[in-house]
């Protein structure tokens, strides 16, 4: 009798211990996973990739996400700190890849033509230490390079998180001086560079309108 009671108590304890982490996992999945939305498909070569977010993602005419990023010195930088200037956001999967390096170097060169009323940031999921090393090696001085590594808040709020790789999609976003999204270009092939000419033409038109008015020709979004 005592032996059966002992085995029963042991089984109850084991069942409790095993079920606790599972229920905790279900709680976390319910809290975070239920918000995840599939927003678009891109590809890398022949492999299809899914863009997900915690909401509808970026929308023309809507504000940028109210999130913060991390600079190479581990200081938080809010997107709202760029209000008052036209903001170009260049997102890349990783600065340790050739295409992302070319994209960042190109924007670092051309942004000088726009003057102080236009700011440009590059955002990736790379650690700030890796971003700092890249900027020092490549002499990136005209743009801010920021990391979304802590919670991927920007990736999820913008709908640019590549679910299979947990990196940002390659994209370029333009927001006016009031922080309103005016242009979104998501590159359909992760291995290709953006259409730089289209981005820069749009920014020039936005600047001609005072920095917060749409150019005559609206930007195409995928």
Q: Decide if pLDDT at 4 tops 90.
A: no
What integer best gives the mean pLDDT of the chain? 85
Answer for the pair 166, 151: CB distance below 8 angstroms, yes or no: no
* Residue 214: predicted pLDDT: 57
* Residue 35: predicted pLDDT: 74
Strands 37-44 and 47-53: antiparallel
Give the span between the Cα atoms of 89 and 34, in whole angstroms. 28
Q: Decide if pLDDT at 204 tops 70.
A: yes
Give the span between the Cα atoms of 132 and 145, in whole angstroms. 8
DSSP code at position 216: S
Q: Decide if pLDDT at 20 tops 60.
A: no
- pTM for the model stands at 0.81
pLDDT of 68-86, one tens digit each?
999 999 999 999 999 999 9
Domain definitions of the chain by residue range: 1-35, 39-208
Q: Decide if pLDDT at 139 tops 90.
A: yes
Give the span between the Cα atoms of 199 and 83, in whole angstroms. 19
* Residue 85: predicted pLDDT: 97
Among 212, 209, 201, CA closest to 176: 212
* Residue 36: predicted pLDDT: 86
Active site residues: 100
Please say whether the structural domain 39-208 has been given the CATH code 3.40.30.10.
yes
pLDDT of 21-66, one tens digit each?
433 433 334 334 557 899 899 999 999 999 999 989 999 999 999 9
Among 49, 135, 57, 141, CA closest to 100: 135
* Residue 213: predicted pLDDT: 58
User: When comparing pLDDT for 210 and 64, which is higher?
Assistant: 64
């Amino acid at each position: 009798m005592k032996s059966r009671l002992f085995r029963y108590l042991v089984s109850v304890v084991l069942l409790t211990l095993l079920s606790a982490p599972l229920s905790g996992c279900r709680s976390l999945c319910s809290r975070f996973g239920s918000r995840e939305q599939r927003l678009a498909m891109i590809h890398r070569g022949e492999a299809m990739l899914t863009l997900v977010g915690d909401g509808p993602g970026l929308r023309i005419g809507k504000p940028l996400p109210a999130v913060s990023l991390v600079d190479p010195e581990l200081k938080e930088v809010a997107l709202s700190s760029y209000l008052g200037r036209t903001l170009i956001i260049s997102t890349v999967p990783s600065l340790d890849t050739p295409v992302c390096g070319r994209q960042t170097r190109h924007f670092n060169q051309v942004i000088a033509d726009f003057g102080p009323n236009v700011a440009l940031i590059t955002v990736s999921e790379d650690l700030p230490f890796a971003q700092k090393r890249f900027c020092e090696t490549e002499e990136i001085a005209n743009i801010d390079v920021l990391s979304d590594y802590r919670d991927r808040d920007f990736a999820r709020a913008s709908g640019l998180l590549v679910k299979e790789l947990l990196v940002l999609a390659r994209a370029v976003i333009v927001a006016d001086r009031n922080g309103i999204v005016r242009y979104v270009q998501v590159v359909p092939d992760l291995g290709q560079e953006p259409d730089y000419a289209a981005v820069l033409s749009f920014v020039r038109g936005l600047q001609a309108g005072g920095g917060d008015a749409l150019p005559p020709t609206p930007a195409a979004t995928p």
